């Protein structure tokens, strides 16, 4: 991780060799709609532009009608994933969220999330993937019935990051690792990863990647490891903090491939644009979720590349771009057994190799689709 720039090509070459050995030449992505179910959150992370207090401009909790409207538009564009992202337990500190939930008819944000995932399954062909923050063992068990894969970023094993210094009860690494472990006990295909550039050391990054690998070695359930780079934005406490350089991102991603050689390693292209094709040099085999409809509400300043351009750029480096489902092919059998409510959707949308069976080609997607905003 501390090697000189002159040694970077050797590190990248080692990462590429491991990807070739374990993943071949397919680079996958998931065509999704991004559903910010609520941006109210009880955590105040220094790097986050997504969260809101109830009285702040843009504070919003989606209604069931809004959820369904976005998902059905995404279905028309060949999306197969309904990604639910939301603030962590806002009702714990905001009476306004308690009132919203009562009006909608639910006891908690997680109860509402569960119902909206069920709504997506009942009314569309899309498959929910939920990132709701902290979850108990019981909630993991409940949510897997309507969301066959789940996610929670570890971010870092460093418990003393300045980015988490102010009112972030859900960011304690031990708590997050416990959720990831509980998901393993339940056999849930799980997404996690690290966030770099938030005050952690290089050693912290390595420790975090090893912590993820150790849990996967024990339970075999982590379907992807994300390396995500911090992006500075106006209006956040870390607005003047330096972003990771391209070289920093390449080093960290390549080291991730070395630590988890046979796992799926992902880096989001929109956070490294316009030079995102270089991430392929660092050994990734997945671009993550890309939407032809909705923006990245977590990083709204960073639009996703058009999917046809992503395909062109991927092919230019000798790879084949393949659309996958929110559940990776090698985890499909397990997911269908453990999430019978989603099994029919998974079966209908998967091709013989476990990738997505989409009737809409990338070239058929419009050059511009007005984004569906709720903020």
pLDDT in tens, 70-121: 999 999 999 999 999 999 999 999 999 999 999 999 999 999 999 999 999 9
Query: What does the pLDDT read at residue 374?
Result: 39
Supply the pLDDT for residue 362.
Answer: 82
Q: What integer pLDDT is reported at residue 294 of this predicted model?
A: 95
Tell me how far apart the 2 most distant CA atoms of the chain are, in Å.
60
CATH of the domain spanning 5-364, picked from 3.40.50.410, 3.30.70.360, 3.20.20.70, 3.40.50.1110: 3.20.20.70
State residue 367's pLDDT score: 66
For the question of whether the overall pTM of this predicted structure is more than 0.85, the answer is yes
Domain map of the chain by residue range? Answer: 5-364
Confidence (pLDDT) at 373:
40
C-alpha 334/C-alpha 207 separation (Å) is: 29
Provide the residue-wise pLDDT of the chain in tens; the chain has 375 residues.
Answer: 777 777 899 999 999 999 999 999 999 999 999 999 999 999 999 999 999 999 999 999 999 999 999 999 999 999 999 999 999 999 999 999 999 999 999 999 999 999 999 999 999 999 999 999 999 999 999 999 999 999 999 999 999 999 998 899 999 999 999 999 999 999 999 999 999 999 999 999 999 999 999 999 999 999 999 999 999 999 999 999 999 999 999 999 999 999 999 999 999 999 999 999 999 999 999 999 999 999 999 999 999 999 999 999 999 999 999 999 999 999 999 999 999 999 999 999 999 999 999 767 787 787 644 444 434
């Amino acid at each position: 991780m501390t090697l000189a720039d002159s040694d970077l090509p050797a590190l990248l070459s080692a990462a590429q060799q491991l990807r070739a050995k374990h993943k071949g030449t397919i680079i996958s992505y998931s065509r999704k709609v991004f559903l910010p179910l609520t941006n109210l959150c009880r955590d105040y992370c220094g790097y986050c532009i997504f969260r809101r207090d109830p009285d702040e401009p843009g504070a919003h909790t989606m209604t069931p009608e809004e959820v369904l409207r976005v998902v059905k538009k995404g279905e028309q564009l060949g999306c197969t994933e309904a990604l639910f992202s939301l603030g962590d337990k806002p009702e714990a500190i905001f009476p306004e969220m308690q009132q919203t939930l009562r009006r909608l008819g639910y006891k908690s944000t997680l109860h509402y999330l569960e119902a909206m995932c069920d709504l997506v399954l009942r009314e569309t062909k899309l498959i929910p993937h939920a990132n709701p923050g902290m979850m108990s063992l019981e909630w993991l068990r409940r949510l897997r019935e309507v969301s066959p894969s789940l996610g929670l970023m570890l971010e870092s094993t460093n418990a003393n990051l300045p980015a988490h210094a102010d009112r972030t009860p859900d960011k304690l690494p031990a708590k997050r690792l416990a959720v990831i472990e509980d998901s393993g006990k339940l056999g849930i295909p799980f997404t996690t990863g690290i966030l770099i550039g938030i005050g952690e050391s290089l050693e912290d990054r390595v420790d975090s990647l090893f912590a993820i690998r150790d849990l996967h070695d024990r339970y075999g359930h982590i379907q992807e490891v994300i390396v995500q780079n911090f992006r500075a934005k106006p209006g956040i406490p870390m607005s003047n903090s330096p972003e990771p350089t391209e070289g920093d991102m390449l080093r960290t991603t390549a080291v991730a491939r070395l630590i988890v050689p046979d796992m799926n390693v992902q880096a989001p292209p929109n956070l490294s644009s316009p030079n995102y094709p270089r991430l392929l040099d660092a050994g990734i085999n997945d671009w993550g979720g890309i939407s032809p409809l909705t923006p990245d509400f977590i990083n709204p300043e960073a639009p996703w590349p058009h999917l046809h351009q992503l395909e062109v750029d991927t092919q230019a480096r000798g790879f084949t771009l393949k659309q996958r489902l929110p559940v990776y092919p090698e985890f499909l059998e397990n997911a269908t057994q453990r999430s019978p409510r989603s099994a029919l959707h998974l079966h209908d949308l998967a091709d013989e190799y476990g990738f997505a069976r989409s009737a809409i080609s990338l070239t058929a997607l419009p050059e511009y689709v007005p984004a569906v905003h709720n903020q």
